[in-house]
């Protein structure tokens, strides 16, 4: 059976803990991840999580594998200008892509079809190939421009999923709030998880 492949992109919006839990959960579900990091994402990850991320791509890949105790076959890492990456072409796209967290600048670039970097190009490929794109937006408040861009993408079939945790599961920690958001992402991707109990159960 072919292993499920998901492209995960991380931008400069606040919300690095969501990304780490998402990556961990995808590995636990035996999902292969094509990982794309923007330059701003590296800054935010270092700020919010205290990670000293290596600049070398191979070392960065090994850092994430070691941190999450995962095997190398589940992760491929691509630079922002690596146009030879499989995700840059409709002839070899992943069936799903998650941008978590998704900044308003990156959302705007996707809505306009700019494709100025690999993250935007990968999202553009997902859109044109009619695959699944989930944007985990993180901003407060939203301007009219942000909302217009979200509406435009939503009308194209993109799932706009603000990082807005619920409280009906009576969270006891920050990890519980993070798990809530990641669980909803995985639900939309059709990926099994045990992050939280279901409503009514």
**How sure is the predictor about 188, in pLDDT bands with cuts at 50, 70 and 90?**
very high
Residue-level pLDDT at 94: 79
Counting every residue, how long is the chain?
A: 201
Q: How many CB atoms lie within 10 A of CB 148?
A: 13
| Residue 137 pLDDT greater than 80, yes or no | yes
CB 195 within 8 A of CB 25: yes
| Residue 1 pLDDT greater than 60, yes or no | no
Residue-level pLDDT at 37: 96
Residue-level pLDDT at 201: 60
pLDDT tens digits, residue range 83-103? 999 999 998 877 899 999 999
Per-residue pLDDT averaged across 94-115, rounded?
96
Per-residue pLDDT averaged across 159-176, rounded?
93
CB 165 within 8 A of CB 171: yes
DSSP category for residue 176: H
**How sure is the predictor about 194, in pLDDT bands with cuts at 50, 70 and 90?**
confident
Candidates 181, 146, 91; CA nearest to 196 is 181
Residue 115 contacts by C-beta under 8 Å, 6 or more apart in sequence? Answer: 109, 121, 124
Residue-level pLDDT at 199: 67
The structural domains of the chain, ordered by start, are 5-189 (3.40.50.1950)
Q: What is the mean pLDDT of the chain?
A: 93
Residue 51: which region, alpha, beta or left (left: phi > 0; alpha: psi -120 to 50)? beta
CB 54 within 8 A of CB 60: yes
pLDDT tens digits, residue range 47-56? 999 998 999 9
- Burial of residue 192 (CB within 10 Å: 0-12, 13-18, 19+) is exposed
- Residue 135, CB half-sphere, CA atoms under 13 Å: how many? 34
pLDDT tens digits, residue range 40-84? 999 999 999 999 899 999 999 999 999 999 989 999 999 989 999
Residue-level pLDDT at 71: 86
Instruction: Give the pTM.
Output: 0.94
Gap between the Cα atoms of 179 and 40, Å rounded: 24
CB 193 within 8 A of CB 186: yes
- Peptide bond just before 101 cis, omega within 30 deg: yes
N-term to C-term CA, the chain? 32
Per-residue pLDDT averaged across 158-187, rounded?
94
**How sure is the predictor about 128, in pLDDT bands with cuts at 50, 70 and 90?**
very high
- Going across the sheet that includes 5-10, the strands are 75-78, 32-37, 5-10, 96-102, 132-137, 159-160
């Amino acid at each position: 059976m072919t292993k499920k492949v998901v492209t995960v992109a991380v931008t400069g919006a606040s919300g690095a803990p969501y990304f780490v839990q998402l990556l961990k959960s995808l590995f636990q579900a035996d999902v292969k991840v094509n990982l794309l990091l923007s330059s701003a994402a590296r800054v935010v990850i270092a700020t919010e999580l205290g990670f000293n991320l290596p600049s070398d791509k191979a070392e960065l890949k090994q850092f994430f594998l070691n941190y999450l105790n995962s095997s190398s076959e589940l992760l491929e890492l691509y630079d922002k200008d690596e146009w030879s990456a499989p995700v840059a072409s409709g002839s070899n796209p992943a069936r799903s892509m998650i941008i978590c967290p998704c900044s308003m600048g990156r959302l705007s670039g996707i809505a306009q079809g700019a494709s100025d970097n690999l993250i935007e190009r990968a999202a553009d490929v997902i859109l044109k190939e009619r695959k699944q794109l989930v944007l985990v937006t993180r901003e407060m408040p939203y301007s009219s421009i942000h909302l217009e861009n979200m509406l435009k993408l939503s009308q194209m079939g993109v799932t706009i999923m603000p990082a807005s945790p619920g409280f009906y599961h009576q969270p006891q920690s920050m990890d519980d709030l993070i798990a809530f958001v990641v669980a909803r992402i995985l639900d939309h991707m059709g990926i099994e998880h045990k992050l939280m109990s279901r409503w009514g159960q």
